[in-house]
């Protein structure tokens, strides 16, 4: 396909070595719970993958529970930890913001950074043991949260701390101990692995109740025959991500070049979260006067795939809760451009050409749309 892919935060292409590892497993038979040789081979492959995934986040393999993805890992953490009082940042992914948990939303500042003082004040209001959940990097803006500071505040108040590291894993270096997280979620398809597999990593001693019960796989925390090929792909992707983090860090140069040029073309553009530390691959930018859906469709026609707000919920035309939580204007005019391991410098030139021409047709002049006095 000629279409340029600039939506790596939605999902990033499966790396060739991952596809090869998955194909190899699919060519063989074996249930990891079977005691015969076929079963033992499948078990060994799953346990090797567990080590690779654990290594990516500095955990012990015994702390890794494989799930069907980041969504299920988040649900297992939030619902399985047994805490009735839940505090989550206002910019979390929808899989954390599930309504029935009745979570209190920790506000963020204009750059999307967590208001630590608000978290502290809220925790002081009650002695009921809480769970605090704060993502490491935001999927829409790439903004990196002060997770270890938030975890320290949570722990000072006897709360458990969960971190959704789905967007951060494979893009920036971190480890469970430094983050001080009790629970951490990650997902394979954001780092070059297959979709439909993820993991919850838990600190020893953190008690969880399973959401999916049955045969007792995954130490009883997630029943169901393991997604062996997916898990093997996840392991390979984690190994490659660990080796290739410098390449992802280098994407910042392309992202910054894109933003600098857009700023020249349209000085009124808002880059959400640009005043905060961000993932190196993400830009969330406005074209004033042109709504997000129109931009996404126009860029699609011009041969470029980007998303409006959160691609996890794309298809739904509604303002992004993340951008709205950051305040100010522009939420309805924002698109997300996210680069990845297969991006080329050339992609950025093509994006700038298409963005510039759309701006000339539809956006130019709207920035000063307020009538003259
Ligand atoms: N958390 C964040 C921050 C995400 O960006 C996503 C997906 O976009 C998820 C969780 C859900 O992960 P999955 O797609 O593996 O269910």
Contact 63, 202 (CB under 8 A): yes
Please state the domain extents for the chain.
4-12+246-362, 16-243
Ligand 1 pocket check: which of 53, 78, 93 to mutate, most ligand atoms within 8 Å of Cβ? 93
Residue from 14, 138, 167 whose mutation best tests the ligand 1 pocket (most atoms within 8 A of CB): 167
Q: What is the mean pLDDT of residues 253-263?
A: 98
Judge whether residue 159 has pLDDT over 60. Answer: yes
Ligand 1: atom nearest CA of 72 is 16
Residue 191: phi, psi to the nearest 5?
-135, 25
93 lines ligand 1 (CB under 6 A): yes
pLDDT digits (tens, 9 = 90+) for 190-225: 999 999 999 999 999 999 999 999 999 999 999 999
Tell how far the Cα of 310 is from the centroid of ligand 1, in angstroms.
10
- Quote the CA–CA distance of 45 and 40 in Å, as a whole number: 9
Task: Tell me, rounded to whole angstroms, the distance of Cα 121 from its chain centroid.
Answer: 27
Measured N-to-C along each axis, helices 228-243 and 37-56 cross at an angle, to the nearest 10 degrees, of 30
Is pLDDT at 318 greater than 80 in this prediction? Answer: no
Q: Ligand 1: does its nearest atom lie under 6 Å from the Cβ of 103?
A: no
Helices and strands (DSSP H and E) totals, the chain: 12, 11
pLDDT at position 316 is 54
| d(C-alpha 222, C-alpha 244), whole Å | 30
Which residue is closest in CA terms to ligand 1's atom 10? 70
**Would you say how long the chain is, in residues?**
373
Nearest atom in ligand 1 to the alpha carbon of residue 195 is 15
Query: What is the reported pLDDT for 312?
Result: 44
**Number of Cβ atoms within 10 Å of the Cβ of 327:** 12
Ligand 1 centroid from CA 95, angstroms: 7
Please say if the pLDDT value at position 99 is more than 80.
no
Q: Is 188 in the pocket of ligand 1 (CB under 6 A)?
A: no
Share the mean pLDDT of the chain.
94
Please tell me if the CB atom of residue 140 comes closer than 6 angstroms to any atom of ligand 1.
Answer: no
Domain 16-243 matching CATH 3.40.640.10: the answer reads yes
Residue 153 confidence (pLDDT)? 98
Q: Which fold has domain 4-12+246-362?
A: 3.90.1150
pLDDT digits (tens, 9 = 90+) for 51-98: 999 999 999 999 999 999 999 999 999 999 999 999 999 999 999 998
């Amino acid at each position: 396909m000629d279409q340029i892919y600039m939506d790596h935060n939605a999902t990033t292409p499966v790396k060739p070595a991952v596809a090869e590892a998955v194909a190899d497993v699919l060519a063989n038979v074996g249930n990891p719970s079977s005691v015969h040789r076929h079963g033992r081979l499948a078990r060994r492959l799953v346990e090797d993958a567990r080590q690779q995934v654990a290594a990516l986040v500095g955990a012990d393999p015994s702390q890794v529970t494989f799930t069907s993805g980041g969504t299920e890992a988040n649900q297992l953490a939030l619902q399985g930890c047994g805490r009735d009082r839940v505090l989550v940042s206002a910019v979390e992914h929808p899989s954390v913001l599930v309504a029935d948990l009745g979570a209190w939303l920790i506000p963020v500042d204009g750059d999307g950074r967590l208001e630590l003082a608000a978290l502290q004040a809220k925790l002081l209001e009650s002695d009921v043991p809480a769970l605090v959940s704060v993502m490491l990097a935001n999927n829409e803006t790439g903004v990196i949260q002060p997770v270890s500071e938030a975890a320290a505040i949570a722990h000072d108040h006897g709360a458990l701390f969960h971190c959704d590291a789905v967007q951060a894993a494979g893009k920036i270096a971190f480890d469970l101990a430094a983050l001080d997280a009790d629970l951490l979620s990650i997902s394979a398809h954001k780092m070059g692995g297959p979709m439909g597999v993820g993991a919850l990593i838990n600190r020893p001693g953190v008690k969880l109740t399973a959401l999916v019960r049955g045969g007792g796989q995954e130490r009883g925390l997630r029943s169901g025959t393991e997604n062996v090929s997916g898990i093997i792909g996840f392991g390979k992707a984690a190994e490659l991500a660990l080796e290739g983090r410098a390449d992802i860090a280098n994407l910042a140069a392309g992202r910054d070049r894109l933003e600098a040029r857009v700023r020249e073309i349209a000085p009124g553009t808002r880059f959400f979260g640009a005043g905060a530390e961000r993932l190196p691959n993400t830009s969330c930018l406005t074209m004033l006067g042109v709504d997000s859906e129109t931009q996404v469709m126009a860029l699609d026609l011009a041969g470029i795939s980007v998303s409006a707000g959160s691609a996890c919920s794309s298809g739904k035309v509604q303002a992004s809760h993340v951008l709205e939580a950051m305040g100010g204007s522009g939420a309805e005019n924002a698109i997300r451009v996210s680069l990845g391991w297969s991006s080329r410098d050339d992609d950025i030139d093509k994006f700038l050409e298409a963005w510039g021409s759309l701006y000339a047709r539809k956006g130019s002049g709207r920035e000063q749309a307020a009538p003259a006095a």
